[in-house]
């Protein structure tokens, strides 16, 4: 609940990003965690909250927002469109990303970010952990998850398909 209040609903995604950034081991170029949020305003809110949490840990949180710089980031918070622009400008390297977080997927898709989200998903290393949060799981969100997230599961689990045959009764 505290993280949820701090991060404005992005607690699950932030936790995944945090655990990846805090991990030990050899680091590739660029950030260890990439958090994509729907709007520039959310970039600022989530990056500020994560920066407060990072105080004293040695982890650097960066954002693609006014007044922030990208260099030396462990965690980058951005929109999908900004991530694509920064990669194209060689300002953001995704080779070292260990956790890729898409927060509020349905909202991002509703804002027309599908192409940018797909581009970023293709640029993130295949073995990176992929975390998607969404208050609604509509058809377009399902398609995105099917295309870009391996071993997806939902919390709470999706209801059983009502058109499926009922389980067989045990014989005995």
**66 confidence band (pLDDT: 50, 70, 90):** confident
Residue range 109-152, pLDDT digits in tens: 999 999 999 999 999 999 888 888 888 888 998 899 989 987 76
Query: What is the torsional sign of CA 102, 133, 157, 16?
Result: positive
Contact 99, 27 (CB under 8 A): no
Q: What is the pLDDT of residue 107?
A: 94
Residue at token pair 């004293």: 56
> Above 50 in pLDDT, residue 2?
no
Beta-bridge mates of residue 103: none
Min mean pLDDT across 32-41, 64-73, 79-88, 147-156 is at 147-156
- Whole-prediction pTM: 0.77
DSSP 3-state of 116: helix
Contact 70, 76 (CB under 8 A): yes
Contact 70, 89 (CB under 8 A): no
Contact 81, 113 (CB under 8 A): yes
Q: What is the pLDDT of residue 131?
A: 87
């Amino acid at each position: 609940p505290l993280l949820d209040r701090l991060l404005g609903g992005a607690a699950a995604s932030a936790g995944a990003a945090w655990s990846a950034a805090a991990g030990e081991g050899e680091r590739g170029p660029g950030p260890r965690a990439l958090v994509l949020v729907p709007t520039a305003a959310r970039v600022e809110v989530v990056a500020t909250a994560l920066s407060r949490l990072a105080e004293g840990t040695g982890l650097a949180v960066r954002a693609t927002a006014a007044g922030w710089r990208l260099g030396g980031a462990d965690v980058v918070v951005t929109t999908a469109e900004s991530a694509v622009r920064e990669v194209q400008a060689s300002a953001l390297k995704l080779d070292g990303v260990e956790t890729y977080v898409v927060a509020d997927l349905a909202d991002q898709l509703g804002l027309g970010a599908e192409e940018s989200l797909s581009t970023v998903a293709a640029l993130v290393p295949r073995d990176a952990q992929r975390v998607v949060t969404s208050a609604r799981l509509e058809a377009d969100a399902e398609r995105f998850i099917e295309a870009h997230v391996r071993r997806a599961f939902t919390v709470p689990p999706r209801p059983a398909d009502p058109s499926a045959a009922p389980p067989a009764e045990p014989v005995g």
